[in-house]
Amino acid sequence: MDCLFCKIVAGEIPSTKIYEDEYVYAFKDIDPQAPFHAIVIPKTHIKSAAEITAENSFLVAKVFEAIAKIAEQENLEKGFRVVNNCGEQGGQTVGHIHFHLLARRNLAWPPG
Ligand code: 5GP
Ligand code: ZN
């Protein structure tokens, strides 16, 4: 399948790994928007948050379990933000569901 993040999971495109388990892979964003910016993805290809079903929703839980572990591993005790962009107006540019994990600066709210 011609998917950038599937290729990253397969090691066909290099990435800087932050965390990996059976279900989840996390790596440094190539264009960081904060001093700490990871992309956290299920290894299974799901197009976007709009494609979550009763069958695959456990993978979202696995992603959030991984995020808690990464936060501990990376000492993000001051806090962090998790962002999911979905679809064209949501700002999604890669068609494999992913969660941005941003930290180590004050993050504005509302995000704009
Ligand atoms: P989106 O805009 O779809 O929510 O987020 C896609 C993210 O993937 C962007 O923050 C972008 O910088 C990141 N990205 C795109 N291509 C690559 C790549 O080849 N490697 C890495 N590490 N990140 C990428
Ligand atoms: Zn994919």
CB 24 within 8 A of CB 8: no
96 annotated active-site:
no
The predicted structure's pLDDT at residue 97: 98
* Residues, the chain: 112
* pLDDT tens for each residue of 8-19: 999 999 999 999
* pLDDT tens for each residue of 56-108: 999 999 999 999 999 999 999 999 999 999 999 999 999 999 999 999 999 99
Question: Rounded to the nearest 5 degrees, what angle is found at the Cα of 17, between the Cα atoms of 67 and 25?
Answer: 50
CB 43 within 8 A of CB 9: yes
Give the position, in ligand 1's atom list, of the atom nearest the Cα of 94.
Answer: 3
Any atom of ligand 1 within 6 Å of the Cβ of 48: no
**pLDDT confidence band for 111 (50 / 70 / 90):** confident
The predicted structure's pLDDT at residue 1: 77
Quick check: pTM over 0.85?
yes
Give the amino acid at 42: P
> What is residue 68's three-state secondary structure?
helix
Question: Rounded to the nearest 5 degrees, what angle is found at the Cα of 87, between the Cα atoms of 107 and 42?
Answer: 75
